[in-house]
Amino acid sequence: MNRRDFLTTSLTVGATVATGSIPLQTAVANNGLPNKRFRLDYAPHFNMFKNLSGKDPLDQLKFMADEGFMTLEDNGMKKKEPDLQNKIAKQMERLDMQMGVFVATADFGNPTFTSGKKKFREQVLTDMRDAVELAKRVNAKYCTVVPGKFDHRLPMGYQTANTIDTLKYCAEICEPSGLVMVLEPLNHWANHPELFLHKIPQAYMICRAVNSPSCKILFDIYHQQITEGNLIPNIDRAWSEIAYFQIGDNPGRKEPGTGEINYMNIFRHLHHKGYTGILGMEHGNSKPGAAGEQAVIDAYVKHDKF
């Protein structure tokens, strides 16, 4: 289905709903967003479709919505100027789009959570206060937290306890606004060998210990295929603590269908479990230019037909 046909179909459905000819849920996504092309809520990031949409971020949002993507994921939102953040938020509101994760705090060089040092904890808490304000500005519900490096001077148990304590302080900051921190385990083998949080069972245990609705798991399927595999059983075991997913095939970290992960089965499994949350498209394009961007769209259309 091309964009013109999609928009025509959406308008026709909207008109039919308005006249009461079909049930409202037929034309509305599981998460309440209209013009749903996909069964699951896949969230692209800025510049993923820049050749097809142009470089202006507001035009890129319009293109995403026209193609049926109703959520934006932007790890770097925190680094944008407030004026641009406001413009992005207003454009998403006009398009009935929602905001996915942005990175609230992530230090890849220091033991910010594990050491228990006051200077690191104070910086983390400052980051989280800033994240709460940003979330209000861009209408975000989720923010990514990466708990820094190992502290090789401390046994693992002490590092874990320090991390839990810091996250409890962070949760106290997030809970009044409803902002949810999602902890992202990152793989050691291909990308991040020194980071503390790298496995789903580890993240599950930490979230259970923090015991807050504002502290959950970001299950990045790319990272977890590298770290431990066994994807669907781990999803099931950690289900109560998972609030968000991210996508990327392996090897290569490109769109579904370019590697070894059976994304059609995973998407089917999530759908059958009743998942109506966001799946961030945190990957590159396997091919350059406009053709590569169209290939990404086509990959999601294909794998969404589970």
Q: Residue 130: which domain range?
A: 39-303
- Residue 11 domain-assigned? no
- Residue 29 domain-assigned? no
CATH code where residue 65 lies: 3.20.20.150
Instruction: Count CB atoms within 10 A of the CB of residue 163.
Output: 26
CA atoms within 13 A on the CB side of 272: 10
- Residue pLDDT tens, the chain, 306 long: 443 343 334 333 333 333 333 232 223 343 444 457 899 999 999 999 999 999 999 999 999 999 999 999 999 999 999 999 999 999 999 999 999 999 999 999 999 999 999 999 999 999 999 999 999 999 999 999 999 999 999 999 999 999 999 999 999 999 999 999 999 999 999 999 999 999 999 999 999 999 999 999 999 999 999 999 999 999 999 999 999 999 999 999 999 999 999 999 999 999 999 999 999 999 999 999 999 999 999 999 999 999
- Residue 181 domain-assigned? yes
- Residue 58 domain-assigned? yes
Tokens of 208: 């259970």
277: Cβ contacts below 8 Å, ≥ 6 apart: 31, 41, 243, 244, 245
81 burial type by CB count under 10 A (0-12 exposed, 13-18 middle, 19+ buried):
exposed
- Residue 254 domain-assigned? yes
Judge if pTM exceeds 0.85. Answer: yes
Helices 289-303, 263-272: axis angle to 10 degrees equals: 50
- Residue 18 domain-assigned? no
What is the C-alpha to C-alpha distance for residues 204 and 197, in angstroms, rounded to an integer? 11
CB 31 within 8 A of CB 98: yes
Number of domains making up the chain: 1
> Which one-letter DSSP state was computed for residue 255?
S
Q: Which long-range contacts (CB under 8 A, 24 or more apart) does 82-86 make?
A: 82/137, 84/57, 85/134, 85/137, 85/138, 86/137
> Which one-letter DSSP state was computed for residue 179?
-
- Residue 9 domain-assigned? no
* The pLDDT of residue 36: 72
Q: Which of 256, 259, 270, 258 is nearest to 302 (CA)?
A: 256
What is the C-alpha to C-alpha distance for residues 67 and 212, in angstroms, rounded to an integer? 36
- Residue 196 domain-assigned? yes
Which string of DSSP letters, residue by residue, matches 184-207? ----TTTT-TTBS---HHHHHHHH
